[in-house]
Structure 1
Amino acid sequence: MDPYRELGVGYSTVRRPDPRIARAVWAALGDARSVLNVGAGAGSYEPADRAVLAVEPSAVMVRQRGSGAAPVVRGAAEALPVRGGFDAAMALLTVHHWRDLAAGLAELRRVSRRQVVLTWDVEVMARQWMIAEYFPQVAERERGLATLDAVVAGFGGAAEVRPVEVPWDCSDGFLAAYWRRPEAYLDERVRAGMSGIARLPPEVAAAGMARLAGDLRSGAWHRRHGGLLGREQLDVGYRLVVAS
């Protein structure tokens, strides 16, 4: 079943690549001239100056790829439909959707000489206000999925881990992108691009949103977190794992 049949509708409008994060991803690719983008979604962060082939299992996501996006083939990370020979393979905010993390990482190693995975440290993200105070269920579920330690272990334990700080005005609406803009989480269209929230039971999501809305009205959120309003960027747990 395609998990993005519902979650992915309108995805490309709220998940627009942020140029500062793009620079970090492209730097991690090193001198790679050919890149396989696994779990490519709508095509975010595909470098225009390199030869890119995308692999994406979801028809909903494939239909949202722009006219300038790289060519795409349908396929899953655990059984990539390519022979290999790529300079690099990248997998950005996707490994938590894979059915078999170890198999997917082994496939990345099979088809490329360099691997770049953007994921998150669950324990760091669990301390972020939106998770800690309103949606602790997200961290509880993520601890059972593709953790940062599991990704590093999948590359033999020798991978480099690079923190990716998130700018306050990040244009890519992933889960913790709005750490300085709490009102954005009240927008259902914004939340639809965050699988961590969108896949919660509706009653759990509604309760968390009601608490946040109440805290914003009363000023409680600003009393607890007003110090964030002077920050330009923040480490909320996102990590680039680079292996070769």
Structure 2
Amino acid sequence: MTRGPVAVLTCDPGLVRGFWLYECVPLVLDTQARRCPFVAGIADALGGTVTVTAVPIPSDCTDGFNEAYFGRPERFLDPVAVQACSAWSFVAEETRARYVGRIKAALADGSWGARHGALRDAEAYEGSLVLIRSVR
């Protein structure tokens, strides 16, 4: 048993598919959602008084997780950036190549910009990143 406050920074699997990237790479984000424990399960395990707070992701976030690139979709055209997002490694290489092609096409034809272009100017993005805090 722990004493004092406990904080867990995690991804809420129920929110993963709400990110624009799901339109282009559904198997990657499905994999990510399956790998994350449910927030309710973490809260139950921690016990005590539990709060769950969304954690805004800053536009200049340098951590290599998918939502860190919310307003910089070109990052997904860089193999090193894609490799930094571990969920991508759970799909076949051919699938990864096809998915990167979808993103490249959406950027080239302007469809990404038309639907999500405002994210380029956003200071932060509130996605699936949450802080679970328990106090006993």
Structure 2 counterpart of 1:207, from 86, 98, 108: 98
- Counterparts in 2 of 1:157 and 1:195: CA distance versus 1, 3 Å: farther
Task: Look up the equivalent residue of 2:25 and give its one-letter code.
Answer: F
Tell whether the 8 Å contact from 2:47 to 2:134 is kept in structure 1 after alignment.
no
Shift of 1:162: 1.5
Shift of 1:159: 1.7
Shift of 1:198: 2.4
The gaps in structure 2 that reach 5 residues or longer are none
Q: Which residue of 2 aligns with 1:138?
A: 28
- Counterparts in 2 of 1:123 and 1:137: CA distance versus 1, 3 Å: same
Task: Look up the equivalent residue of 1:158 and give its one-letter code.
Answer: T
Moved over 6 A (4+): none
Select the structure of larger CA radius of gyration.
Answer: 1
Tell whether the 8 Å contact from 2:53 to 2:130 is kept in structure 1 after alignment.
yes
Q: Which residue of 2 aligns with 1:232?
A: 123
Tell whether the 8 Å contact from 2:59 to 2:69 is kept in structure 1 after alignment.
yes
State the secondary structure of the residue aligned to 1:171. coil
Q: Which residue of 2 aligns with 1:126?
A: 17
Query: What is the 5 A alignment of 1:20-169?
Result: 109-110=1-2, 113-130=4-21, 132-145=22-35, 146-156=37-47, 158-169=49-60
The gaps in structure 1 that reach 5 residues or longer are 1-108
Shift of 1:123: 2.4
Summarize deviations over 1:110-145 as a string: whole Å, max 9, x none: 5x5332111112222211111x21122234334434
Tell whether the 8 Å contact from 2:11 to 2:130 is kept in structure 1 after alignment.
yes
- Alpha-carbon separation, structure 2, partners of 1:209 and 1:157: 44
State the secondary structure of the residue aligned to 2:84. coil
Task: Say whether residues 1:219 and 2:117 are aligned partners.
Answer: no
Given the two structures, how large is their TM-score scaled by the length of structure 1? 0.51
Shift of 1:157: 6.9
Given the two structures, how large is their TM-score scaled by the length of structure 2? 0.86
- Counterparts in 2 of 1:150 and 1:118: CA distance versus 1, 3 Å: same
Task: Look up the equivalent residue of 1:173 and give its one-letter code.
Answer: G
Where relative contact order (Cα < 8 A, 6+ residues apart) is larger, the structure is 2
Task: Say whether residues 1:193 and 2:77 are aligned partners.
Answer: no
- Alpha-carbon separation, structure 1, partners of 2:32 and 2:65: 15
Higher helix fraction (1 or 2): 2
Task: Look up the equivalent residue of 1:189 and give its one-letter code.
Answer: V
State the secondary structure of the residue aligned to 1:229. helix
- Alpha-carbon separation, structure 2, partners of 1:233 and 1:143: 21
Q: Which residue of 2 aligns with 1:38?
A: none
- Counterparts in 2 of 1:137 and 1:150: CA distance versus 1, 3 Å: farther
- Alpha-carbon separation, structure 2, partners of 1:133 and 1:165: 21
CA RMSD of aligned residues (A): 1.8
Shift of 1:216: 0.9
